[in-house]
Amino acid sequence: MHHGLCEVQYIVIFGGVMSGLGKGIITSSLSHLLANSGKKVSVVKIDPYLNYDAGTMNPYQHGEVFVLEDGNESDLDLGNYERFLDQSLTGDNNITTGKVYKEVIEKERRGDYLGSTVQIIPHVTNEIKRRIRKAGLDSTEITIIEVGGTVGDIESMPFLEAIRQMRHEEGDGKVLFGLVTLVPEIGGNLEQKTKPTQHSVSTLRSLGIIPDMIFARSNNPLSPDTRKKISLFTDVQEKGIISVTNAKSIYSVPEMIYRQGILDYVAGKLQFQNLVFNDKWSMFRKNVANPAESVKIAVVGKYTELEDAYMSHSEAFSHVTGNTGIAVKTKWVHSDTLKENTDTLKDVDGILVPGGFGYRGVEGKVIAAKYARENRVPYLGICLGFQTAVIEFARNVLALHSANSSEFDRKTPDPVIDLLPEQEGVVSKGGTMRLGEKNVIVKENTLAYRIYGSKVIQERHRHRFEVNPRYIKRFEENGVVFSGCDEEGVRMEILELTDRDNFIASQYHSEFKSRPLAPSRLHKHLVESSLAFKKEQEVKVSRNL
């Protein structure tokens, strides 16, 4: 099959036994190795759920919603792909059952199928194949596809069938299959059990898919015996069985699988010549493994029991560590607990208030912003963390004691955060999401300008409500600088305080664009400010001794 100018080859990663084994990181690692060996790589995540995208899903079920440059809301695995590949993806890189069925039904309604009975095979499977092939750019040489869920799930069946057909259509040496399985270790001598892997492989084979490589997840490296046994029962060569153990940092997984010869194995199977891996992360990994300094930062949110809900923030912090050698110890603080007292914030060097939706937890975030402002603790507010800083300042500095966002209190006398009226002067009903990458204009001679060193930056958004223009002058007269705004000068994007340089908040999500070698500037600033604050506190303590 020709796509654009060059022929694309495909690597498909399936999961067996259970979900949550790290298929996303293994897929990302493989894409990282190939991309840094001179190949043009694209990655596709298949999510077999019926939701159209991840936009409406509860973070407790699925972790954070990752926002792409084009405004598509996707699974958090796409965030990992972007970080490992160091390139921006689009909605085309996330295929869901919802997207596929919606397209098929719309075609049927338009009469595109000329009256034939519309069925899973061929209509749904053809649409899946069309989307997989479309996801590669014209210059793509390899598309890596991660199939969500586990082999044998009812909902992933049409995808597995489409992929089986693709291997047949693309011809020999064009499609490679990998399976991620669990090798549990049981008993006093921690014997490695291969039965779950055998079962997964036989399930996959019964669907007409024969794996070429197996990524075995286990606590300890696979023993030579286990490797032999898996090879014997699955017909996968021993060289194609890769041991993936728990890593302190996800960024050491590419190196882990590289050392086992995965690149040479894949190159042999897909007939690539002379792949030479250029490891750009060695310094980064050293800093993550042996940081010189450390700070403790409170993340104040309402999903703090589930760290996946804030995955991009955690990753942004690890990118800062890899570039500065300052480790970040995250203290997860449930915002509602701050309504009783702020004692949990007493031992932290910095505070991050991330985004969120809904009123629950907001008052605690307002308290966190107040605590940071009054105690001069470094503060970074993102999205809702930006809005709560505005509400806090309005209540406690401007003495608008009932100030709020009209999102949370429709009757507030001072809606300092509100839906913007439409340009013609009509108030919009419900407002529409501001989603995806937009230009932000940064004012010179501000903290934001020092951080970015640029008058125009591009950042990703996901929100509806804005700073109410009626109040901006009052804020600015009392010590707030809105140092960034949109191109029209209507929407406020960055807030800082005139009396310090360690308090900043943004309406956009800088964590979504953070990359291992180019960390989010705002997170880096928070970490460096936190280290300075920590050292000041240590000096104060030693003076008082």
Q: Which residues are catalytic?
A: 383, 509, 511
Cα 534 versus chain centre, distance? 29
Within 171-209, where are the H helices?
A: 195-206
CA distance 104 to 48: 15
- Other beta carbons within 10 angstroms of residue 314's beta carbon come to 16
What gap in Å lies between CA 134 and CA 293, rounded to an integer? 46
CA–CA dist 27, 86 (Å, integer): 14
The type of residue at 277 is F
**233 touches 272 (CB < 8 A):** no
Please list, in sequence order, all residues whose beta carbon lies within 8 angstroms of the beta carbon of residue 473, skipping any fewer than 6 positions away: none
Residues contacting residue 412 through CB under 8 Å, at least 6 positions apart: 402, 403, 404, 405, 406
The alpha carbon dihedral of 506, 511, 515, 516 has a sign of: positive
CA distances from 350 to 97, 371, 378 (A): 42, 11, 5
CB 381 within 8 A of CB 351: no
Closest CA to 39 of 241, 273, 283: 273
Q: For residues 21 and 217, is the Cβ–Cβ distance under 8 A?
A: yes
3-class secondary-structure state, position 293 = strand
Which helix (H) or strand (E) segment holds residue 268: the answer is helix 262-270
Q: Count CB neighbours of 260 within 10 A.
A: 18
Tokens at 222, concatenated: 């696979």
End-to-end Cα separation, the chain, in angstroms:
75
- Please give the backbone phi and psi of residue 492, each rounded to the nearest 5 degrees, phi first: -80, 135
Please state the φ and ψ torsions of residue 540, each to the nearest 5 degrees.
-60, -45
Give the residue among 322, 389, 328 at the shortest CA–CA distance from 354: 389
Q: Which of 44, 89, 82, 40 is nearest to 275 (CA)?
A: 40
What's the sign of the alpha-carbon dihedral 337, 342, 345, 346? negative
Contact 254, 260 (CB under 8 A): no
Q: How many residues are given for the chain? A: 545
Q: Cis before residue 291, ω within 30 degrees of 0?
A: no
